[in-house]
Amino acid sequence: AQTVTQSQPEMSVQEAETVTLSCTYDTSENNYYLFWYKQPPSRQMILVIRQEAYKQQNATENRFSVNFQKAAKSFSLKISDSQLGDTAMYFCALPGTYKYIFGTGTRLKVLA
Amino acid sequence: KAGVTQTPRYLIKTRGQQVTLSCSPISGHRSVSWYQQTPGQGLQFLFEYFSETQRNKGNFPGRFSGRQFSNSRSEMNVSTLELGDSALYLCASSLGDRTSGANVLTFGAGSRLTVL
């Protein structure tokens, strides 16, 4: 069965600092995608970044980057230069068969 | 381009009642998925529809049902409401291609259901 685990329920970071959110997963697929979604307090979930498993290079989107370790089945999200607007729940997600499997989320608070 | 629209945004029901939630996907998206979000359980998959066909269903009782119309709009229904059904119900649409990285979910703002 496919699983996604986020072991950090809550984290905080000072504005302008860097923070890393952890995610581990399990899948028997060889090629797959992984996603990080963000859910701000206003509730609408938005895509932060995605990674295709067969690509060696870690994905980067502006201040957001991932550290993808395929053998270890680890997919962490690094947020650089944290901003107050980064305060949100962050979900790691693995697409399954016509559904996504989400981790339980990490609540990130950026402190002024 | 309009986003995913969910209605109603908030609703309060009492135990035993039923509720219908609506979701209008992004134009051109043929897949609509529903998720239940609660503080204790996180995001739980309810069902997914593609071209009016249910392709997958989560582990929820038969009180939870859904359908999709020819214009890709979807509804979900919960009958005989229980207190535990209180949750944020999220709808997400996508192109629906399982193998494509373009199959990114775009979420609506959700429908917050409170059961008293």
Residues A42-96: tens digit of each pLDDT: 778 999 999 998 888 999 999 999 999 999 999 999 999 999 999 999 999 998 8
Contacts of A10 in chain B (CB under 8 A): none
- What is the Cα–Cα distance from B11 to A20, expressed in whole angstroms? 37
List CB contacts (< 8 A) between A95 and chain B. Answer: 98, 103
Between A2 and B113, the higher pLDDT residue: B113
For residue B31, what is the nearest residue in chain A, using CA coordinates?
A98
> Are B45 and A101 a contacting pair at CB < 8 A?
yes
The torsion defined by the Cα of A102, B113, B53 and A96, in degrees rounded to 10, comes to 0
Do B103 and A97 lie within an 8 Å CB cutoff? no
Which of B33, B104, B109 shows the shortest C-beta gap to A50? B104
In the predicted model, what is the mean pLDDT of residues B33-37? 96
Joined tokens for residue B67: 């359908």
Question: What pLDDT sits at residue B103?
Answer: 77
pLDDT (0 to 100) of residue B101 = 54
Residues 18 through 37 of chain A touching chain B, CB cutoff 8 Å: 33, 35, 37
**Nearest residue, CB atoms, A43 vs list B31, B33, B88:** B88
Distance from C-alpha of B56 to C-alpha of B38, rounded to nearest angstrom: 21
Residue in B48, B106, B108 nearest the CB of A98 = B48
pLDDT band with cut points at 50, 70 and 90 for residue B98: low
- Lowest mean per-residue pLDDT among B11-20, B21-30, B94-103: B94-103
- Report the pLDDT value the prediction gives residue A110, as an integer from 0 to 100: 97
What's the rounded Cα separation, in Å, for the pair A90 and B44? 15
Quick one: pLDDT at residue A54? Answer: 87
Q: Which of residues 19-78 of B touch A (CB under 8 A)?
A: 31, 33, 35, 42-43, 45, 48, 50, 55-56, 58
The first and second tokens of residue A39, run together, are 């859910």
For B63-73, the pLDDT digits (tens) are: 999 999 999 99
| Residue of A84, A65, A85 lying closest to A76 (CA atoms) | A65
> Do the Cβ atoms of B42 and A103 come within 8 Å?
yes
Which residue does chain B place closest to A107, by CA atoms?
Answer: B39
